[in-house]
Amino acid sequence: MSERIFTADLFSHLISLWRFVIIPLIPKGPVRCLEIGSYEGKASSWILDSIVKNHSDSRLDCVDLWRGLEEQERLFDTNIASESQVTKFKDFSVNFLAPLVTQPPMYDFMYIDGDHRGEVLFTDLCLAWRCLKKKGVMAVVHYLPDGIENSDVPSPRVAIDSFLKIHKSEIRLLEKSRHLIVQKRAVPLGGQE
């Protein structure tokens, strides 16, 4: 495959953290991964190369609107969409996730990096969580306040804190700095095997 091309790198600063925290928790067999918000495919490429390609039956689903992002979508397509283990879904995250919540959870790993506005992120987190298997891992961009914090729009931090509170008994907190990484407990705290 030819060299991948990116005009922006919103991901590389996370690689050492992900290697240390996430990789040891990924099952050895086939895995199903999800990325909400794929942009040019920078994080998708890393997930593909470091996790998905370890097993021929593993899959990566990439969801993005690419609204007004024609050039980014074109780059995503040439960088990654033609890879046999990747499936591209061009849609709102909620449209992708909502039908899945009535099915048994299917994902082993997910990266939530779509719309960062608090109310949208909160919906994505709650829906995506329902699709994550027990012991599955979820990474979420932007825990720390960003520019949105000072506007009327709820920040990512408000969404993430609300999500953590509501799902507290099911969550094993792995990282909560600039970035959030959580694992779904096999048994909720206070629950029974």
Ligand X SMILES: C[S@@+](CC[C@H](N)C(=O)[O-])C[C@H]1O[C@@H](n2cnc3c(N)ncnc32)[C@H](O)[C@@H]1O
Q: Give the SS3 label for residue 64.
A: strand
Interface region with ligand X, contact rule CB under 6 A, candidates 38-46, 99-107, 125-133, 175-183: 38-46
Q: What 3-state DSSP class applies to 4?
A: coil
- Cα 86–Cα 98–Cα 187 angle in degrees, nearest 5: 85
Query: Could you say which of 33, 59, 83, 93 contacts ligand X (CB under 6 A)?
Result: 93
Q: With beta carbons less than 8 A apart as the criterion, state whether 47 and 19 touch.
A: no
Distance set, CA 35 to CA 38, 46, 48, 122, 144 (Å): 6, 11, 11, 16, 20
Out of 31, 37, 58, 160, name the contact with ligand X by CB under 6 A: 37
Distance CA 99, CA 8 (A): 32
- With CB under 6 A as the contact rule, the residue among 17, 21, 25, 69 that binds ligand X is 69
Cβ closest to ligand X, residue 114 vs residue 118: 114
Q: Could you say which residues in the range 112-131 bind ligand X, by CB under 6 A? A: 113-115, 120
Do the Cβ atoms of 139 and 111 come closer than 8 Å? yes
Candidate ranges 47-55, 63-71, 157-165, 166-174; the one touching ligand X (CB under 6 A): 63-71
| Piece of 48-56, 59-67, 155-163, 172-180 that binds ligand X (CB under 6 A) | 59-67
Residues that bind ligand X (CB under 6 A): 10-11, 37-40, 42-43, 63-66, 69, 92-93, 113-115, 120
